[in-house]
Structure 1
Amino acid sequence: MKLSNKLKQFLATPLNKLSLSIEDSPVETHITRLYRELDKHEIMFKPACYLSDEWGCPHQIPLIAIPFYLADAKLSRYEKKFTGVPAETNKEIMMYLRHEAGHAFNYGYKLYKTKEWQTVFGSFDRPYTEHYRRKPYDKAFVKHLPDYYAQKHPDEDFAETFAVWLTPKSNWKKKYKNTPAAKKLEYVRRMVEKFGGRSPLKASVKPDWPIESIRITLKEWYRENSNKKQKIK
Structure 2
Amino acid sequence: MSGQSGALTASGTFEDLTYNTMPEQPAYHEHVLDASDVCLSCHRIVRVERQDPTRGGLTREYETHHERHRDHTVIDYGPADSVGDQQGTFCERCGTESPWDRYWDDHRTDTHEIATAFGWLDDVDDPATTPCQEREVSTAKFRELLKATIRTLEEKGVTLDRQTLAREALDRRRDGEHVDDCLGEATGAAITRAVIRSDADRTDARREVPA
Greater strand content: 2
Greater helix content: 1
> Normalized against structure 2, the TM-score is what?
0.24
Q: Which has the higher contact order (CA 8 A, sep 6+)?
A: 1
> Normalized against structure 1, the TM-score is what?
0.23
